[in-house]
Amino acid sequence: MLGLSIDPLFAATVMAAAAVTALMVALYAATTVRDPMAKRVKALNERREQLKAGITASTRKRAKLTQTNRSTERMRAILASFKVLQDKQLKEAQIKLMQAGIRSKDAAVAVIFGRMIGPILLGGTVAFGVYGLGWLGSYNALIRYLAVAGAILLGYYAPNIYLKNTIGKRSAAIRKGLPDALDLLVICAEAGLTVDAAFHRVARELGKGYPELGDEFALTAIELGFLTDRRQAFENLAMRVDLEAIRGVTTTMVQTEKYGTPLASALRVLSAEFRHERMMRAEEKAARLPAIMTVPLILFILPVLFIVILGPAACSISDNMGGN
């Protein structure tokens, strides 16, 4: 055997390095031992913080609702003191608010209160500016009187104008998605789903594309589930949406519930009618376009066209006559 010469200093260095490495690994293992309950405790702490945040948010929401109710009660007391709060007006305001997508009962009191306080604030401000600060001083007394009267009327009709505009936009959005909703209802009816399940499915499928229609269908599905009279749910849908097409759909639903007629065939006919109506409405807008474009054509396009065509000739005639 051949003897191997190993340097004792090199061997000692290697052994010392191995010992130091083992010591570091042991220290790391000892200091990083994880408690099996640490992750669970951390998750519980996070859940506790989430619940605390939820309780705080609900408390704030409850306080906000209490403050809103107090404000509503104050407005109701003011209206009752002036004897202008009538049940008929309150019901009409609630129906208009539901058609606009606002389902808070307190908002009806706010609308009636706005009708009362709007003319006072807006009309009083304009009257003070016209007669006290000298606004419209260069105009005669009739113009200033008309300005004050117009401000008073605007303050009274401003809530109605806002509600009417909101109802029109919402009705147009619902009308746009109604044929697709009826097609989905036909598919759900042919698949064997019940009416409330079909409304739930259509609301879920069309909620992103047509949120207003999905909201109304979801609410109708909920009412179909807990109301004893299913006809009342369809009547509520017709009341919440100011559309003749929705009234036709609800009438069809009521008839199928009452007489047991096939739902899919009736909805298919309604869907075809609504699509034809939408096409006719688009054709009507296209047919009105030439009449609408007549005034801009006469006022803006024809004068520029005459200047471009006759301008060079007029300039040439003017130069020739000036030279002669």
DSSP 136-198: TTTS-HHHHHHHHHHHHHHHHHHHHHHHHHHHHHHHHHHHHHHHHHHHHHHHHHHTT--HHHH
Cβ 268 vs Cβ 251: under 8 Å: no
Which residues, given as ranges, of the chain have pLDDT below 70?
1-8, 28-44, 47-68, 323-324
pLDDT of amino acid 41: 65
* Inter-CA distances, 308 with 140, 303, 311, 314, Å: 44, 9, 5, 10
* Inter-CA distances, 206 with 177, 185, 203, Å: 8, 11, 5
pLDDT of amino acid 28: 67
Cβ 181 vs Cβ 214: under 8 Å: no
Q: Could you give the CA distance from residue 239 to residue 258 in angstroms, rounded to a whole number?
A: 20
Q: Tally Cβ neighbours within 10 Å of residue 81.
A: 9
| Structure-derived torsion over alpha carbons of residues 76, 81, 87, 88, reported in degrees to the nearest 10 | -110
Q: Can you give the pTM of this predicted structure? A: 0.66
Cβ 248 vs Cβ 178: under 8 Å: no
pLDDT of amino acid 18: 81
The tokens describing 176, both together, are 């746009």
Which phi and psi (to 5°) does residue 79 adopt? -65, -40
Cβ 151 vs Cβ 130: under 8 Å: no
DSSP string across 218-232: HHHHHHHHH-S-HHH
Cβ 270 vs Cβ 248: under 8 Å: yes
Summarize pLDDT for 59-91 with one digit per residue, the tens.
555 545 455 577 778 887 887 777 777 778 888
Cβ 154 vs Cβ 125: under 8 Å: no
Buried b (16+ CB within 10 A) or exposed e, 107-135: bbbbbbbbbbebbeebbeebbeebeeeee
Cβ 171 vs Cβ 241: under 8 Å: yes
Cβ 126 vs Cβ 148: under 8 Å: yes
